[in-house]
Chains A and B, each alone.
Chain A
Amino acid sequence: MKRQDDEKLYQDALGKIDVLKLYDTYYDDIFRYVLNRTGDVEMSRDITADVFFKVYRHRWKYVFTSAPVSAWLYRIAGNEVVSAHRNTTRRPLLLDGELQHSDVVPVALRGDLQEEIQQAQEQVNRNAAFQRVNQQLKKLPSKYQEVIVLRYLEEKSIKEIALLLGKREGTVKSLISRGISQLKRISFTEKDFFAQNGLLVEARTNEGVN
């Protein structure tokens, strides 16, 4: 783990999950993970908010174990991504529903938030390598998507992935291996398709790494 995942850091006075501490620590990680899975900035923002909202709603049920707290977050996030893919229409933000009963005043105008989302989405769209990978990943089963994203896009070690997903390291290695194989097969098929249609796919080799 890049940061200390000491469970005591995330407990409140009652020994339960301190949602705000978790949020401050893991928001960026979860958001990036979801974005890597979906490629959609706005959806990623909503799903990330939903993850922490669910943590907040179910914080009384969480039992601290030897697994890191972040594993719980990644698991919720993974489920939310799958759920979002199943639903063609984007779901409303659950947190907004909760806030109907409160008098919270957003710190930034919605226009500012949308502008930030648009800028981030443009940034994502400019990364052609990401776009290709994202399209190919979506053709894989979810179990391969999550290990490949964590391994290659999140740069986590096999051990970390095993902890986060609650799987054995051998299983993770196997999943990554099979996932990459499938990804290569999809890529090869696409390459043939592009070649048959006279498109230069080699251009990708000239794209810089961000």
Chain B
Amino acid sequence: MMSQHPVEFDLKAARLTDIRMDKNRTSTRRALQSATEYSCVQAKKKRVVRVIFSMGVTFGFVLGIVCVWMLQPAPQPTVVKVATNLGSIWCTYSDNATGGSSVVWPPESTEGQNNFVKSAPGYGDKGYAVRFKGKAGERSREGFIGVSTRLGPPCQFTGCNGVNIQKFNKIRFKMKGAVSSGELVLLISNDDAAVNSETEAVSMLASADVYEAQITEFVSDEWRTVTLDLRSDFAFVKDDAGGAQKADDILADAKNLKWHVRNAKGADVDVWIDELEFF
């Protein structure tokens, strides 16, 4: 039988089996427990701080976006000169066609011919301008005369398309002249003509919308710049037959611009218009 090596004997004898550390054990446990509880309180505090912080960050982020959005420079409006980019035929009109006695120059078109003539000098003593002059009829209180231009491309009498001018905010033009009585309004309309297939009679569509701005006050002897907001300076004229009553509806399909003198019994009218543009 092999004898046990002293080291192995020592290893067996060295076992520490009865060392008790009850007080230290309890003390350390209490400390650990306290640290755990303290940690729970701290964790709750941290959670609250974290929630408040994340809410603050979110609020700041949203506020930042709003600020950036608000501080963004407004996009520069596109300026479109009607004379070069829009419009086709200019023409004058009056109540003469409906039995009135008004007289307008340049002469009205009676059979579809273009009687319009340019007048000189235009604004700044340069080029040409649109001028219409005449005398409102005496017979009717509602005598009117005016000048009109189509915004769409040249077209036949019916079925002409309008143009969408929703992207513009304002209209601007130079104007001078005199209107002795009555009122001068600028009309944007989507009226159109309709042809009766049997009689071939031409009539205006009853549902035409008329959107107008008062500009009488801008008429003077000297050229003045007239700037009108397409949405706030214009108002709908009540149309008994109904129709669009939203600015953007009519701006989406604008067919005509009319400088219209009305309620002008016997009034003398002489109006010059130049440098018409949308922006």
Interface class of chain B by DSSP: helix
Interface string of A8-30 (1 = CB under 8 A from B): 00000000000110011001100
* A36 adjacent to chain B (CB < 8 Å): yes
The reply to whether B6 and A204 contact each other, CB–CB distance below 8 Å, is: yes
CB-CB under 8 A from A129, the residues of chain B are 9-11, 13-14
Contacts known (A45-B24, A113-B23, A116-B23); A183 close to B7, Cβ less than 8 A? yes
* B141 adjacent to chain A (CB < 8 Å): no
* A200 adjacent to chain B (CB < 8 Å): no
CB-CB under 8 A from B14, the residues of chain A are 127, 129-130, 132-134, 152-153
* A73 adjacent to chain B (CB < 8 Å): no
Interface string of B1-20 (1 = CB under 8 A from A): 00001111111111111111
The reply to whether A120 and B21 contact each other, CB–CB distance below 8 Å, is: yes
CB-CB under 8 A from B27, the residues of chain A are 106-108, 113
Interface string of A25-48 (1 = CB under 8 A from B): 001100110011000010001001
Q: Which of B11, B24, B30 contacts A116 (CB 8 A)?
A: B24
Of the listed stretches A62-70, A97-105, A161-169, chain B binds A97-105
CB-CB under 8 A from B30, the residues of chain A are 104, 106-107
Q: How large is the interface on B (under 10, 10 to 19, 20 to 34, 35 or more residues)?
A: 35 or more
Docked CA distance A184–B33 (Å): 44
Docked CA distance A102–B33 (Å): 11
The reply to whether B26 and A95 contact each other, CB–CB distance below 8 Å, is: no
The reply to whether A20 and B33 contact each other, CB–CB distance below 8 Å, is: yes
Docked CA distance A129–B225 (Å): 115
* B34 adjacent to chain A (CB < 8 Å): yes
The reply to whether A152 and B35 contact each other, CB–CB distance below 8 Å, is: no
Docked CA distance A129–B112 (Å): 131
Q: Which residues of B contact A (CB under 8 A)?
A: 5-39
